[in-house]
Amino acid sequence: MGILIYAESENGKFKKCALELASYGRAIANQLGVELIAASFNHSEYQTLGTYGVERVIQISDPKLEKFTAERYAANLASVVKENGVKLVLLSSSANAKYLAPLLAVSISAGYASNVVGLPESMDPLSIKRSCFTNKAFNTCVLDNELNIISLSNNSFGLKEEPKEIISETKSDVSSETNFVLEKVERASGQITIADAEIVVSGGRGLKGPENWHLIEDLASTLGAATACSKPVSDMGWRPHSEHVGQTGKPVASNLYIAIGVSGAIQHLAGINSSKVKLVINIDPEAPFFKAADYGVVGDAFEVVPELIEKLKAFKNS
Ligand SMILES: Cc1cc2nc3c(=O)[nH]c(=O)nc-3n(C[C@H](O)[C@H](O)[C@H](O)COP(=O)(O)OP(=O)(O)OC[C@H]3O[C@@H](n4cnc5c(N)ncnc54)[C@H](O)[C@@H]3O)c2cc1C
C-alpha cells in the first residue's frame, strides 16, 4: 500500500499546501510503514518534496496539462493510483483540489473526506476529524472503503521537515478529454496568494475608497502578507474579486489575519474562522468583529495604520 499526494505547483514552484501535504503524508506513512509518493504536473524541481518526506515523485508531463483542468488531472491521478497500488490519496483544500476531488473519487471508487483537520484516529476503517459549518464545529467521519481520499484543510497541519532520498519518474498524459480553459487570470509575479499566506491584511468599506488601498498594500508589503477584502469592496470594484474572502469568497487559514475597517458580518467571519490569530482595527467599539478578535484596536484606520507601518519598519530596521 502507498500514499499519494497531489503536489500542486505554480510558476515553477511547489505551493505551500503541497509541502504541507507532504508533511502530513509523511506522518501517516511513518505510522503505517508505507511509501509516500507525489504526483506533479509539468514540474521538475522535485527535490523540495524530498525535504518534507516524499520518497518518489511521478512527474506527468504534457503541454496540454500546463493549465489545470479537473477532468484531465483527475484521469492522470486515477492512473497513478491504479498503477502504484495506492490506498490513500491526499489533496489540499485549494479551489483546484476541490474541483478535482469528487471526480477522482468517482473514477477510483474511493471514499472522500473534505476539510480534514487532523491525523487519522484509525486507518481501518478510516476515522478522521473534519471541520464543518464554516469551521464552527467538528465531526468525526468514518470511511470503510478500501481506497480513500482526504482533503486537508490548508494550514491545519503545518510544515514539518523530514528529509528523504527522493527518486523521480516521468509519465505521459493518459487523459483523452477535450477541455477548454476560457480564461486564466495571471497574478503579478511575486504576489503572495491568500491560500499560501502566513499573514493576510484585509480591508473593508471603512477604507472609504480604492484610493486609500495603499494603506493595506503598505502594511501587507511590510509584513510580507497577502491582501484581501470584504465582499462589498470587491463588488464595488475597489479590489479584484480574487481578494474577496468570506462565505461566498475565498477561505483564509493564515496564522495572522488583520481586518481593517471590516465590520465582521457573519458571512465574512465564515471565511476567516480557521485563521489562528485575528487582529481587528475598527473605529466603532461595537463592531461585531471585536467579539471574534484575539486583539483589537479601536481607532481610525487612517491614523492607526500609518503609525503601525512606521513602527513595524523601525522595528525591522533596528
Ligand atoms: C448571502 C450573502 C453572502 C455574503 N458573503 C460575504 C462574504 O463572503 N464576504 C464578506 O465580506 N461579506 C459577505 N456578505 C456581506 C456581509 O453581510 C457584509 O455586508 C459585509 O461583509 C460588510 O462589509 P464591510 O465590513 O467591508 O462593510 P461595512 O459593514 O460597511 O463595515 C465597515 C466597517 O468599517 C468601520 N469603519 C468605518 N470607518 C472607519 C475608519 N476610519 N477606521 C476604521 N474602521 C472604520 C465601521 O465601523 C464598520 O464596522 C454576504 C452577504 C450575504 C447576504
Question: What single-letter DSSP state applies at residue 64?
Answer: G
Do residue 109 and residue 218 come from a single domain?
no
- Indicate the pTM of the whole model: 0.79
Q: What is the CATH number of the domain that holds 268?
A: 3.40.50.1220
pLDDT for res 300 = 98
Kindly report the protein residue whose alpha carbon is nearest to atom 47 of ligand 1: 284
For residue 184, being part of any structural domain is answered with no
292 lines ligand 1 (CB under 6 A): no
CB 246 less than 6 A from any atom of ligand 1: yes
- Are 292 and 223 members of one domain? yes
Are both 208 and 311 inside the same structural domain? yes
Pairwise CA distance, residues 268 & 266, whole Å = 5
Which residue, among 318, 282, 312, has the nearest Cα to 220 in the 3D structure? 312
Separation of 106 CA from ligand 1 center, angstroms? 39
Amino acid 213: pLDDT: 97
SS3 assignment, position 232: helix
Q: How many domains does the chain have?
A: 2
Do 136 and 274 fall within a single domain? no
As a 3-state breakdown, the chain gives helix, strand, coil percent values, each rounded to 5, of 35, 30, 40
> How far apart are the C-alpha atoms of 261 and 278, rounded to whole Å?
13
pLDDT tens profile 113-160:
999 999 999 999 999 999 998 788 999 999 999 999 999 999 999 999
250 lines ligand 1 (CB under 6 A): no
Does some domain include residue 187? no
Cα(249) to centroid(ligand 1), Å: 13
Q: What is the pLDDT of residue 12?
A: 83
Distance from Cα 267 to the centre of ligand 1, integer Å: 9
Assign 39 to helix, strand or coil: strand
Do 290 and 244 fall within a single domain? yes
* 181, part of any domain: no
Ligand 1 in contact with 61 (CB < 6 A)?
Answer: no
- For residue 20, what is its C-alpha cell? 504541507
95 within some domain: yes
Question: Is 186 inside a domain boundary?
Answer: no
Residues 28 and 164 in one domain: yes
First-to-last alpha carbon distance for the chain, in angstroms, is 53
CA angle 244, 92, 102 (to 5 degrees): 95
pLDDT reported for residue 1: 78
What is the model's pLDDT at position 135? 80
In a domain, 183, yes or no: no
In this structure, are 6 and 150 located in the same domain? Answer: yes
Predicted local distance difference test score (pLDDT) of residue 184: 57
Distance 270 CA to ligand 1 centre (A): 13
Residue 262 amino acid letter: V
Determine whether the shortest distance from the Cβ of 263 to ligand 1 is under 6 A: yes
Three-state secondary structure call for residue 300: coil
Residue 182 lies in a domain: no
Which of 108, 137, 172 finishes a domain?
Answer: 172
- Does residue 106 sit in the same domain as residue 156? yes
CATH number for 43: 3.40.50.620
Domain match, 156 and 28 both? yes
Q: Which residue, of 172, 191, 223, is where some domain finishes?
A: 172
User: Is residue 38 domain-shared with residue 109, that is, in the same domain?
Assistant: yes
Residue 252 Cβ inside 6 Å of ligand 1? The answer reads no
- Is residue 50 in some structural domain? yes
- The confidence score (pLDDT) of residue 67 equals 87
Residues of the chain falling short of pLDDT 50: 189
Instruction: Assess whether 166 and 206 both reside in one domain.
Output: no
Nearest-CA residue for ligand 1 atom 41 is 300
Strand partners, 148: 88, 111
What is the secondary structure of 179-230 as a DSSP string?
------PPPPTTPPPTTT-SEEEEE-GGG-SGGGTHHHHHHHHHHT-EEEE-
CB of 32 within 6 A of ligand 1: the answer is no
Structural domain of 137: 2-172
Instruction: Say whether both 21 and 122 belong to one domain.
Output: yes
Residue nearest to atom 6 of ligand 1 (CA): 267
